[in-house]
Structure 1
Amino acid sequence: MVLLAAAVCNRTGKAIISRQFVEMTRARIEGLLAAFPKLMSKGKQHTFVETESVRYVYQPLEKLYMLLITTKASNILEDLETLRLFAKVIPEYCRNMDESEIIDQAFSLIFAFDEIVALGYRENVNIAQIRTFTEMDSHEERVFMAVRQTQEKEARDHMLKKAEELRKMKTKGGTGSGPWSPGFGGGGGGGSNSVGRLDTPVIDTTHNEPVKSYTSTSKPSGLSKAMKLGSKTKDVDTFVDQLKSEGEHVTSPASAPSTTVSKMSTPALNQEGVHLRVEEKIVVQAGRDGGLQNLEVFGLIKLKVSDERYGKIKIGILNNDSKGVQIQTHPNIDKKLFNASSYIALKNAEKPFPLHQEIGVLKWRFQTLDESFIPLSINCWPSDSGNSCDVNIEYELEQPNLELNDVVITIPLPSSHGGPIVNDCDGEYTHDRSKNQMIWSLPVIDSANKTGSLEFSIPGHPEDFFPVSVSFVSVKSYCDIQVTEVLSLDDVPVKYSSEVFFYVDKYEIV
């Protein structure tokens, strides 16, 4: 069947809510709904009426009608079955079948309608599945939020306790300078007693070292600058144990894989019969004193067909790139069709795409030495101050349309020395003693969080802190090449799923 629209209307044909599943103007749907009451004949028990172009299938709901508008070629038995499912959805959200309550629950009803019908075709769902899909309840989100609230409360309590201790120390001992030299660009001794706003403390489970995360409301100095936080996990453990006792499976942070690896290796959920994966990787090598030595981006669109009905298809591609990428299709793809209309299809129209195989259909490459194309610039300034080296490292997002997730900046440290003294940090940091590295982590860098810095001091020489390496992932394409639609060879829309991964292959400042 092809369902054009679903609506709840009153006896005069006025639409209370209406959802169109194909492209249709507002005037057109209003005209169809207004014509509906005039076509009904009194005294007849039919549940449908027809015109020259459409069929109305309806069911009374007290003073209202649940109405489906379909094509005349659709199967009337399937229409009636779909109508009964729509009629069952209404009482799930509305106790009283009146206009005011229908309007109050309009968005919930429309979301439920979308679960029943997609692109004019009935989905194989029942009431319980519709309820589950629309609620979108997430156990992982509830665990995350509960743990985060507990950690934030612990951090606030710890901050107030430390602030009180520092005030007492200052009252007893005056405002003498701190026990270490300030970082490059940092202030002097302990003249300010302002305390930074502390965010969630996190424990590095590999090395049992506290990770500091704060954003200063005013730049702290003296002892408060390098204050490191521990984390009490008693309440968190109690909460997790309670969940386990209730039969819930909770993965501990120590056993969880790294975010980047899990994102790249986990297949997308709810894959349709046609699934497309847009994958890009970037290689960057930049100089420590500025200048781009190399930037390369390699892109690939992979297609996986898992439903034999959709073996013969064509894929619409939108190329918004303005950088000048080099694009190449697979040898079995119709290159003339792609150049003429940006559709990917096989040369042999009688041959379907392979089933249950992920195959590359389109690839591209971009290479440049122009610094303006670098996604994230890193500026590392080590400064020799006698017995130690003050290091100031900054990042800046150069492509504001990108959103970089799980950013990790790794700075090598001199060997045979103690841990660094961190004076200022946007985000979180970890000292990896086994690898002699400072690991600076930021959950997201985007247009609202374009810049940040890290300052620390440690004995060494300026050349000890290179090369600096960077890793991140993103769900936005760097070259902005997108999949827009999937059609059968007869130009009928095919339901598909897609995902985008942009990640780092190698990114170094040498």
Structure 2
Amino acid sequence: MVLLAAAVMTKNGRAIISRQFVEMTRSRIEGLLAAFPKLMNTGKQHTFVETESVRYVYQPLEKMYMLLITTKNSNILEDLETLRLFSRLIPEYCKVLDENDVQEHAFELIFAFDEVVALGYRESVNLAQIRTFTEMDSHEEKVFKAVRKTQEDEARAAMKRKAKELTQQRRDQTRSRGYGSSAGSYSSSKMDMGSTTIIAPEPTKPKTAPTRSTGRAMKLGGKSKDTDSFVDKLRSEGEIVTSGAKKKSAEAAKTSVPAALKESVHVSVEERLSVTADRDGGLEQMQLQGRCNVHVSDEKFSSIVVVLQKDEENGCQIQTNPSVDKKAFMDKGVLGFKNAKPIPTKQDVGLLRWRLQTTDEALMPLSINCWPNENGAGSCDVNIEYELQVDGLELADVRVSIPLPSGVGAPNVAEAAGEYKHDSRKNILEWILPVIDDSSKTGAMEFSIQGCSDDFFPINVSFHSTKTIYTDMKVTGVDRVEGGQVKYSMESTLLVDKYEII
């Protein structure tokens, strides 16, 4: 199915919120929404109505309608299933099904809609997954916040102790000055009693011995006994706890690549991969979404075009930014705004995006083959191997997470390429491979543990790369609109959203 838009409307036909999933003008979507009430037949009950170009699929929600606008060639059964999921989202975020409550939770609903549909196509998600994705609840984040709060409380207590010490020190200095002044007045009066007036020298202020602090100096971010005991307790439960800076750097290493040196014109190409494969080697679904962005930091380089070398044979669905001159892109392979309009500066501007969906397992960048063999004694021997299937590709920080049966202890690893780590709290054996490239195309790990074949699935894989693999666009240069080349920097990234063997 191709879903054009989703909207929540009142019974009299006014749109409360609307979300478009494909490129269309504002007048176009407003016209489609305005036409819906006129097509409604109040005498009969239906779930959809069609025009010459689109199909309206709707469901009443008390005083409102949940409305989907799709193409006419979409599958009506899939449309109705998607409509039911959208209809369940409204009461999930709105306690009262009325116009005011929907408006108050408009942004949450739009974020939830985006989790259901991407580029017009339904994602394989359920209501619980959508709630998790939108809330982004993270146990590691809770641990980090708890540690940081403990450190902040420690810093406040240290500040109060230091303030008391400074106040006491000022009081001691004030008392010392007052005693010296009274002693000087007494000496002057005694000297004036003789015939000769002798002016007594001004008394020297006694040096006040520095007050030694009995408390510790203020130490922002320092660890306390409470922090240490809290962290030790977490570690005893099997949780891996790191400091804030280390945690952030570790997370960044898993999900991104090092930032490239940027010129005044910086072109970035990013692809995000989602793969679901079965344990027998077949590919159930692979979806790739890519973007080409340009960032101009200097206004004198805003009138430019990005030159591409295209290969039309890979089957990607391509969409250009509505502001891009599509004819110039199709004819010459250049990305630039219509009528030589300058590109906005100091922001990432999307010029092109593409999408690939396939079930051809030969297109998977990395195949994972897991063979559990039950030996008849309640134990299982597991052989797992990987194979890099794309020549010239380099995958970094590859992590293969294999679930293990609970309550049977650590696995006995006979051999393993790279490294491995057993997480007893999460019951996971993590196979860690820093780099997979042409020099290490294959590798294997073998271990044994109590359990059966189904205990070791689903297997999850994560990695990143500085090379994109499926886009048919290669950036060959950046030119000024009026002629002449421009120095630019280039960054390519391949990231994994989901890579699962079930």
Task: Give the structure-1-normalised TM-score.
Answer: 0.49
Question: TM-score, structure 2 length as denominator?
Answer: 0.50
- More helix per residue: 2
Structure label with greater radius of gyration: 2
